[in-house]
Structure 1
Amino acid sequence: MLHITEAYNAGVGRAIDSIALLTPDREHHLLWSARSDASPLPDFATATHLPDGVAARVRAVRDSVRRVKPDVVHAHSSWAGVYARVRPLDVPVVYQPHCYKFDDPSTASIVRRAYRAAERLLAARSDSVVVLSAHEARLALSLDRRVRVHVLTNAPTVAVAPARARVGDEVVMVGRLSAQKDPEHFARVAKLVNRLRPGTPFTWIGSGPTSSRDRLESAGVRVTGWLDGDRLVDHLDRAAVYYHSARYEGFPLSVLDAAARRVPVIARRIPAFDGTPLRVVDDEAAAARALVAVLDDEVERLQTARATDALHESMSIAAHVESLNTLYDRYTREHATR
């Protein structure tokens, strides 16, 4: 399997690492770049850094396919999808958008139409599209009704913790500092909560532009930068509640990781969470009220924790591995007959 990404340092990288760790009987190769310091895990047979420039990256994909001779190319996120599909390859391409950019409600409609047109053009060169929710499956089929859609049962990337009692007062979010994750929304919620409940600490685990970090810090939010597995677990274990502020998603691993560590989750209402048991809120004022309620009312905390546990139970590692093997087995069989 040849995995391609230009966002290895974010949740996409954690997802790829998880695939390699959970399917060790398969040979995984990585063609990657990152927007900040990152290093691939040693679980890949090879790990090759993408060169700079779109044309050079398209050539690098073709060179890697000739060298590795993979059963399938698995392109993770939109730019990797471009590099792997803009020119036809001699092997099937599985495309996993990790959320479609044209699904961003904050983007101007003309820009969203341009993103959708590009995705529709490239969809014909996808042998399969891997999605993480029913909403994302509908988006994939809206681009090309003929495409094979594989709904991947997602799973956390951290170990599951036992049930726990209330811990501290900290509200946490994990993600890249980007418009999609909407750190400005998180900052406004932090200010509202601290008007209702002064001294409530807010932390953002992740990194991105200095301007986004500055706006969070000016709202009293601590920004840690990216944390590796053990440090991420340690910080989640100190959190009282996890609040997911993203405008749109495929399905975020950070929510599953928080659920696995038994942190009660409250999320902004977006289509990715439709049909899940998660507690969702419609706006910043509702988010602030819900967070204060979970922090100050044990009944509210337990109800939110039970909803979070129900999400975790529906997305197990065993189901994730079975879903990955179903996806990859098809290409392994086809490769053997080519």
Structure 2
Amino acid sequence: MRYGIVTETYPPEVNGVALTVQGLEHGLRQRGHEVAMVRPRHDGEAEPAVDTLLVRGAALPRYPGLKFGLPATRLLHNHWRQARPDAIYVATEGPLGWSALRAARRLGIPVATGFHTRFDDYVRSYGAPWLEGTALRWMRHFHNGAQATLVPTRELQAFLQTQRFRNVVRLPRAVDTVAFHPGHRDETLRREWGLDPHALAVIHVGRIAAEKNLPLAVRAFRELQRVRPEARFVWVGDGPAREALQRENPDFVFRGIKRGGALGRHFASADLFLFPSRSETFGNVTLEALASGVPVVAFDYGAAREFLRDGIHGAAVAVPDDAGFIAAALRLASDDALRTQMRPACREAVAALRPTQVADAFDRLLQSLTRSDSHAAPTVP
């Protein structure tokens, strides 16, 4: 089969959408399929890889280093008319994604879209709550133009169905349990953070931005610091809120963006992961922390709802109980024996999430769209 994937973010950009899309692409290629990528050109990028069409992009406001693709309906129509995919996956809802839907519709090529970002939550985080309804209607119009909308959790699937999104299909996520493993714990790295062997390392991994609800993580750390004064808060990632956060908290350890083995070592070398976001569609970092054997404090939705059991793998806090989040962080930070007991359970919670299984499910879903009955929602176990 020949598949097309359209995305407005892709590595070396570091975010959940980019990495998820890359994982799906690699999974299809490993199964023997041709995959034709369409994405914006990265700054300084010269020649594209084989089977990659680079399009014009523009900087994304408030997100340095990230772009959205400019409209390209005619270009995509001509490109796919010459090298027609059997099915197309559109991962992002930007101008390039809309162009892909229009071009595919004109050519009669079946399309699945990915629901990766809660823009209705984002507008509230950036001070425009009156736009939530508009954002949701805009997303519904986009995704209902495809034969299927892929989501990572049962919770999000149910929510979108109540909002009149059609053909919503759950495609589970996976985690690389080799890259993220407790065995990558690195005492040299912990010393770089300013920790002695028995001190507490609290970590946050992700974009440092307003929609991530980071002031709650800061409040939780300051409370637990009262009982664990030697604790250090390590931040992995970057974003528009980093400068102010670093200025206001000079004792925090900021490590910037980490990839590959370095990211695995940072996760495994921590003792507690605080994830206060309430705007994720999933939260891949939750799985990465669990695979690394690190107890997690997170709100009970997304990946936490699917895999995190309260009191066994950390704490799953009811939304939007900020006081409960802080209390959970304090409780886990205060109990070294409990966290030690949780570490193997965290690992076990995600040990069976194989990327090959996700690739197989994604492949079967795209193939189902090519059949004559593809207007019905396909099923993925």
TM tier, shorter chain?
A: 0.7 to 0.9
Question: Contact conserved, 1:245 with 1:267, CA < 8 A, in 2?
Answer: yes
Query: What aligned pairs does 1:284-299 form with structure 2 within 5 A after superposition?
Result: 284-299=322-337
Question: Which of 151, 154, 157 is 1:134 aligned to?
Answer: 154
Q: How does 1:75-154 map to 2 (within 5 A)?
A: 75-79=90-94, 81-85=97-101, 88-90=105-107, 91-103=109-121, 106=125, 108-144=128-164, 147-154=166-173
Query: Deviation of residue 69 (structure 1)?
Result: 2.0
For 2:102 and 2:141, the matched residues in 1 are separated by: 9
Write the distance in 2 (CA, Å) between the matches of 1:198 and 1:67.
Answer: 64
2:192 corresponds to 1:174: no
Contact 1:101 1:115 in 2 (8 A): yes
Alpha-carbon distance in structure 1 between the residues aligned to 2:121 and 2:158: 11
**Which residue of the partner structure matches residue 17 of structure 2?**
12
How far apart, CA to CA, are the structure 2 residues paired with 1:252 and 1:62? 34
Taking the TM superposition and a 5 Å limit, the aligned residue runs for 1:190-201 are: 190-201=221-232
Amino acid corresponding to residue 353 of structure 2 in structure 1? M
**Deviation, structure 1 residue 63:** 4.6
The residue identity in structure 1 corresponding to 2:204 is M
Structure 2 residue identity aligned to 1:215:
L
Q: 1:28 aligned to 4, 23, 35, which one?
A: 35
Q: Distance in 1 between matches of 2:206 and 2:218?
A: 14
User: Greater shift after overlay, 78-87 or 2-11?
Assistant: 78-87
- Which residue pairs with 1:280 in the alignment? 316
Corresponding residue for residue 185 of structure 1: 216
The equivalent of 2:71 in structure 1 is 56
Confirm whether residue 213 of structure 1 aligns to residue 232 of structure 2.
no
Conserved in 2, the CA contact under 8 Å of 1:95 and 1:130? yes
1:283-310, CA deviations, whole angstroms, 9 ceiling, x for partnerless residues?
4444344334334423421454355335
CA separation in 1, counterparts of 2:74 and 2:275?
A: 37
The separation in 1 between residues aligned to 2:98 and 2:38, in whole angstroms, is: 14
TM-score (norm 1): 0.82
| Percent identity (aligned) | 21
How far apart in 1 are the matches of 2:271 and 2:234? Answer: 11
| Runs (5+) with no aligned partner, structure 2 | 59-68, 186-196, 310-314, 373-381
Q: How many residues align?
A: 329
Alignment partner of 2:359 out of 307, 321, 332: 321
Asked if structure 1 preserves the Cα contact closer than 8 Å seen for 2:112 and 2:366, the reply is: no
C-alpha distance in 2 between matches for 1:193 and 1:323: 42
Which secondary structure does the structure 1 equivalent of 2:294 belong to?
A: coil
Distance 1:167 1:137 in 2: 43
CA-atom RMSD, angstroms?
Answer: 3.3
Q: CA deviation at 1:37?
A: 7.0
Secondary structure of 2:297's aligned partner: strand
How far does the alpha carbon of each residue in 1:131-181 deviate from its partner, in whole angstroms, 9 at most, with x for none?
Answer: 001121123323435x22221111014525267999862222222223332
> Which blocks of at least 5 consecutive residues in structure 1 are unaligned?
none
